[in-house]
Structure 1
Amino acid sequence: MQAGVSEIFSSIQGEGKYVGCRQLFIRLIGCNMNCPYCDTNDVAHDKTVPCILEKAAGYQGDLKLDNPVDIEDLMPYINYRLQSPHHSISITGGEPLLFTDFIRDLAQKVKQFNVPLFLETNGTLPQQLEKVIDIIDIISMDMKLPSDVQKAYWQEHEQFLQVAKQKDVYVKIVVSAESTEEDFVKALDIIKNVDENILLVLQPITPMGGLHEAPPQKMLDWQSKAMQVLKNVRVIPQTHKMMNQL
């Protein structure tokens, strides 16, 4: 089983419900979107980059592999890192659901460690999610506002959330100065129609790609609006950016 993997590293989760938790990150190459505020765009679409394994004290294997990599070549490193406690394994990207066979193979190979699988996804591939939902424990689902990404994914998002709701799922919405209230209200309607108890995380954008920082009052106003229809709404910035961690 092969896939493009840009990096594997151990760090804290910097966004969303599980911010601050220690995770082993596996970042896959490839995405079905091209969001202007993507902070991994340099590797999300470049299949020529090597696979970089973060240095780990005591690990004697290769730390740089050519892509695409065979999962068997990654397992000695993954097994070594999982000897230290981790909250979960974050499968991220790019868009990891483009590689469901790889995810299933990985899940089988790390089963012995009993570490939850944490999926970070743009929430637009419901059919692919159905292929792995039985082995995923936690889902961090982005809901993209058309005013920021220039395309609507409402139907895909709703179908995705219907599948994801059977697991520990939360929705993350990146909010910029350009984000429109019309889009936000539509997103709230979708979440409420699926399950009003699903956690919504509002994430102030880290300005890039021509999008600008949302005013603090906008974040407060939108949280108040969301709390009128949803049970759990939090505002959480990208904390890893604040700590100068990738």
Structure 2
Amino acid sequence: MTPPANWSHLPFFRDTLQAIDAALAGDARTLLPPASQRFTALELTSPSQTRVVVLGQDPYPTPGHAHGLAFSVEPDVAPLPRSLNNIYKELQEDLGGTPPNGDLRFWAKQGVLLINTVLSVPAGEANGHKHLGWQTLAHQILAEVSNRPTAFVLWGKQAQALAPHITSPKTGDKADAGHLMIETAHPSPLSARRGFFGSRPFSRINTWLADRGEQTINWTTP
């Protein structure tokens, strides 16, 4: 796997990726997403472009769904995965609209980094690669984008456990140069009604961005 150019300075690519590559090469199972798509989120959103980070767990284990961005699916996937369907329910309630399909690449191109903590999964085996060491990359990404005020969306306890890797911004000329932290229940059917529904993360992020004088995110229309 070729490191994405804008992130290749992270120590992970020098110290850890080779061992993960070797483990994946020795895994005879069908692995998702395809190797060419594993770093799609990082290729679409560079550190300097990142304004919002949405932290996921690992790729969808259903063949044809995952394409390298947390929660996003290929545009022809129907019905939507249940967590994404709940995200869209909240988006509809919050902003009155949803995208036409589950492809969130247009979010990524606006500075929304949709990154999973684990970037590969065996087909049909959710969390099947949680011990490979991918989490080191997530830790380093969070530290990197913490250098300037960023909105962090941590849905569920697994994402919230990575909060210690988010540090205070090093510089800022705004009156409030801190991060926006949104921490709620995960949008999965098992937990969405325990604090995800009604949390209005999309309008909260846009209000925060507007207050900083930044362009808001178009969440609904590719």
TM-score (norm 1): 0.28
Q: Which has the higher contact order (CA 8 A, sep 6+)?
A: 2
Which structure has the bigger radius of gyration? 1
- Higher share in strand: 1
